[in-house]
Structures are given as structure tokens and as C-alpha cells.
Amino acid sequence: MVVQVRHLESGIANGHKIKGWADVDDRLESLDLTVDVDQSRIALLAQEDTDGDGQITIADKGPKNFTLKAVDGQEAQITGTYQLAILLQELALASRAGLEKCQILGKRLVEGPVDRLTRLIPETYWTSLTRRLDESTIAAAGPDGKVSGGERLHIYVPAGVPEQLAYYNELSRNKPELNLQVTQIPDASEVSKSLRQYWDTPGILALAMDTEGDDIRGLDYTVPGYRFNEFYYWDSYFCCYGLLEAGKIGTVRGIVRHMIFQIDHYGCVLNGNRAYYLQRSQPPFLSDLVTRTYEHLVASNDDTAIEFLHEGILAAIKEYHNVWCCEPRQDPVTGLSRYRPKSAGVPPEVEKGHFDWFLAGPAKRHGLTIEELQKEYNSGRLKDEEMDNFFRHDLAMRESGHDTSARLVDAAADLATVDLNALLYKYETDIARAIKEKFQDALTVPAGVMPADHDSSTCNSAYWEAKAAARKAAVDRYQWNPETGMYHDYNTVTNQQTPFRSVTTFYPLWSGLASEEQAKQLIEGMLPQFEHVGGMVSTLPLPGSSWLPRQWDYPYGWAPHQILVWDGLRRYGYADHAHRVAYRWLYLLTKTFADFNGRMTERYDVVQKSEAAVTDGTEYGNQGSKFDGVNIEGFGWTNSSYQYGLKIIGEKLTAALKAGLAWEDIEGASD
């Protein structure tokens, strides 16, 4: 059923199934009490946090009725999970600030979850997730909780930026309390020759800085949050959706410059700016981020917009040719590209013991302990073909961003995936359009940007339009399946489409690669299968198999997939579907936030709208679900999906969301 937005006002006005988000006592709105922070917080947790996780949620079995006592003897009754959780959050914030007493205002306790999230994301979450690699925040940006030794502050600086090397060496001397270790590494063309030596000494990789005279300053960027305390490629891209909505254009420009810096000095935009990520990238989104940011700059009458676009498009061209459309990532037979990084070895960022089930066999074969095996293999001294094949696919899966998913296990490096080729088609069309419309159809390119066989110092739109047409033809030939009515990943070794059904089949809608007929088949045939009560699910179960679902599989949904599907549906004229799918996701996020002490997590169970939506789940746990009292970060791309999603659904559906209407309630209101 397609529900028209015009029906909502009557449905809300008539109170059709309106349950609201919580039993909010509006009488508290004028409350203004000064309380003892620690005394109040300890008493509240003792009474209401029955499972001892430092939060107040619907899973707790307390009375859900707390007497808040002010220092002047006044009292107020705070009832219900949501308001008690808000009280705890306000007390936790005061405690973190070192306050002995704080003011509790009723307007905060009665603030609805949609309004609260809309306020917190730009005011608090983005601030908490913002980093700079200079004296101001390097102590927070440097540590890495994922690896042994990651607590040490160690920065690697590429040879091409001697001014940064001088800056960090001086910082190390002037601030001995930082215990900052500084190491220079070769630039992109040479770093691969000594890559393995950096795996045993974890550290952060330098990013772009501003230099004016003798002053040098780091540029802002955002991290995903929790265990992910570094610059990630596609995480940063999706964070920019929310940052742009929040008006943080300076941070977005900094993120673009960091991406360009990495292409120039590390050879690609890295999976993350840690030494062990060298030569491993992530899903490419630079061309879209550059054009999207350019449009915001133009709208604000920024006179540097065209310069920004020029620099960004040149970097996207360089990345396209030197990373994604050459060996080893490009398949010479199909012309399609694969996730296939040049890095090798056992990735150190995984949780301890993650690979023990596999490494036990090679360790026994070589007469070594698992720890000894990893050390010898990562050093390059031990050769093992079985391990080479296993980690070639594992590292490719990590480069895809979908680590881990059953559709990629033991196959990723051989797969021309739908997602990657749809993204590269977007590069081709973005670059063609920019050259034609903004650079008089002749873009001068420096040496090293275009392939060696390109016989001109310029390129025009026709060159890129031909690239796009060739890729579409290859995708239609190898990846589109008219019988299933969807796109499939293509195995370049077995020369077959894979049977897995992934939400990435909708990427061609986002990039504009699908024909109108293909889009129609996808939306009519596949959208109902992937759409669930909480939004779009990552994969469908594989019929007739005993596959082991991973975190990027059914029943989980992720923010980047939701955003790309929304925009893809709107691009092809299916705005009503986009509104519905976005609303489902926003409702799930809002319900989780209201029921679980303000959680905003990395992923959600979109199939069942219940407590299972925020359980720790598979692999390393659900980031954003564990905190003490108050969530001050959200989770990067989830924050963005909320801000951007509200823009997608518009004012009337946002009003329905604030009223606590599930999509099923809205359908009923429109009958």
C-alpha cells in the first residue's frame, strides 16, 4: 500500500492509535530543582538499574517511580522508563563535568525523543566525535583500543610533508607527558616495500594540516565512535550527510582534504588511518562527497567553491585510475572491479582469538603456537598458501566495508561486487558532468593522475561518458539477472553470478546505473523482500543452506544501506516508497533511543521491533549499546541517518513520528 502524506493530519488529529513514546508527565515541565549529583545518581541506579548495566531501560524491573530530592528539601516524582533515563543522563553529564550539585529542569525531562535526538546530534554527538591530529586533541585521537600496544601514542608521518615531521617532533619535545613517538615513513610509491614492519608497532597515520607561516594546525574530522577511534573512509562519507545538515561545512571540507591527502601520500583513501590499514581502502565515495559539498558551498555563496571542486575532481580521477581501475582490483576479462587490497597478513584490528578456529590447522602443520604462527607469517618469513588464500579474501571483505558477511567469506577477492561497480559508475558520471558543466569540457590533469597511456594533458566529458557506458554494459552482462529481477555479485574466477541476495542490489538506483525497467523490476520484486518493520535488511537468508549469518547479514540493518536506498528510490521517482522505508528506520531508532537510555547503535535488528534490536549481537558487539549513564556520541553514520532521514520524510511524517505513530498506524489512519 502506498500511503499519501496528506492523510496524516487527520490521523494524528483523531488520535488514531496514538500511543506516544512514553508516559510523560507534562506537569514536570516547570520543574526546577537543584540536587546533589552523586547522591541522586547512586540512589536512582540502586532503585531502577536492576540489571546493573549503568542504564535505565525497559529491560530493568524497578518500580519506575523515583522520588527526586532537592538540596532545599523539595521533592518531585519522576515516573516511567523514558523520564527516569533522561534524569540519569542529566545526572551523568553533571558527574562527568565534576559537579557536586546540578540543576534539573523539567523541560529536559518532558522533551520528546525526536526533539531530544534532533538537539543532541548537532550539539553533542558531533562535537564528541570530532578529532584533530594536533596538540589540541591528539591525546584523544591517537589511542587504539583494538590492538595490543594501541594505548601508546605513536604517529607515522609520510616523507612528503617534512613540515609535519618537524611539528610532531617539536610537540613530542615540548609535551613529554604525551609520550609521543614520531616515525617517518615513505610516501605511497615506496611504503609497500616495508609495509609489514609497521604491523607490530601500531600507530596513527598523519592527515592533512593547514600551514600558514609558522603556524600549523590539524583539520577537523569525525570518527565513528567507541572502539573505532580513527578516520574511516565510508564512515566519514556518511557522517558528512549529518554534518552538512548540521551546517558543519568546515568539518566536511576538512574530511575531503584528508581523503585527498591520503590518496597523495598513502596511495588510496585508507580503510582507516592506522599503520595496519596501509594499502587497504574502503568503498569509494569521494566523487559524490566532492560534488555534494560543492553544491552546499555554492548555495552559501562561497567564492572558493570552484577551486574546491577542481581539487576534489582531480583527486577522484587519480583514485579511480590508480586504485580501482588497475591491477589487482580491476578484472581484465570483464572490465569490472573487485575489492582486492595489496596488503597481506593477519589483520591485527580484529578482537583477540577471532581467527583461532582457522589458524589452529596451520599452526599444527608448522609446529608452532598460534601466536608464533601469526608473528612468523606477518613478518613474511613463513610461507603458507592456504593462509595466503584465506587472508586474501578476508582482507578484501574488510576493504568492502561489509566485514563480515556470508556473501563475501572465502570469495571476496574474486567478486566483482554490485556495490563497488555501482559506485565507480557514479564516479564516471560525476566526473563527466563536472568537466562538461564547470570546466568547459576540458580539464587539465597533472602527471600521475591519468593512466600512462593517456596521450593528452587534458580529459573531456566524452572520455568519462564512454567509461560509464562500458561499465553499464558490463554490469548488465555479468551482474543483472532478468530472471531474479536483481543484480548479483559476479565471481571472476568461476565466471558465475553468486546466489546471495544482498541489499547492495539497490546501489545501481543510487548511482543512476539502472534502466527505468530494471528499476521497476527491482522495486516491485525485491523491495518487498528486503523491507521489514525497521527498514531495509542487509541480506536475505540463502534458501536451502546452513549458512552462518554475520553482522552484515539478515536480520541486521545498517545506516549506509538505508540512506542509499532512500536516495535511489527518490532518484527514480518512487518518493512514497522512500518515505515509508525511511520512516520505518527512524521509528526503530527513536523507539530504541526512548526505551534504552538514549542508545544510538552501529546496527539494528530490523526484522523484529523488540529488545533484540539493540542486543550486542554478533562478532565484536553492537557499538553504542554500552556506556555508563549517558551516551555522548551516538554512532557516526547512525546519527547522520537520523538527521538526513527527517529531511527525507518531511514535516508531516516528522509530526507523526513525534506522536509515536508506527508506520502501521499511519497506514490505518489513511484507510
Alpha helices in 335-417 (DSSP H): 356-366, 370-379, 385-399
What is the bridge-based pairing of β-strands 181-185 and 209-212?
A: unpaired
531 is catalytic: no
Q: Given the residues 134, 394, 428, 602, select the one marked as catalytic.
A: 602
Q: Give yes or no for a contact between 640 and 242, defined as CB atoms under 8 angstroms apart.
A: yes
* Cβ-based neighbours of 170, under 8 Å, separated by 6 or more: none
Q: How far is CA 396 from the centre of its chain?
A: 18
Q: What is the CA radius of gyration of the chain?
A: 26
| Residue 468 burial (CB count, 10 A) | 21
φ and ψ at residue 35, rounded to 5 degrees:
-125, 160
| 565 residue type, one letter | V
Using alpha carbons only, give the angle 538, 570, 529 rounded to the nearest 5 degrees.
35
User: How far does Cα 569 stand from its chain's mean position?
Assistant: 20
Q: Are 501 and 540 in contact (CB under 8 A)?
A: yes
* 602 given a catalytic annotation: yes
How many Cα atoms occupy the beta-carbon half-sphere of 359 within 13 Å? 20
Considering 60, 144, 394, 403, which one is annotated as catalytic?
Answer: 403
Q: Is-contact 644 565, C-beta < 8 A?
A: no
d(CA 167, CA 135): 10
Q: Which secondary structure element, helix H or strand E, spans residue 222, and what is its range?
A: strand 221-222
Helix axes 356-366 and 370-379, enclosed angle (nearest 10): 80
Dump the DSSP string for 594-660. Answer: HHBTT---SEEE-SS-SGGGGS--STT--TTS--SS--SS--HHHHHHHHHHHHHHHHHHHHHHHTT
The whole-angstrom separation of Cα 191 and Cα 409 is 28
Q: How many other C-beta atoms can be found within 10 angstroms of the C-beta atom of residue 549?
A: 17
Q: What share of the chain is helix, strand, coil (3-state, %, to 5)?
A: 50, 10, 40
With a CB cutoff of 8 Å and minimum separation 6, the contacts of 179 are 152, 153
444-449's contacts with Cβ under 8 Å and 24+ in sequence apart are 445/314, 445/317, 446/314, 448/318, 448/322, 449/314, 449/317, 449/318, 449/321
Which residues are known catalytic residues? 403, 602
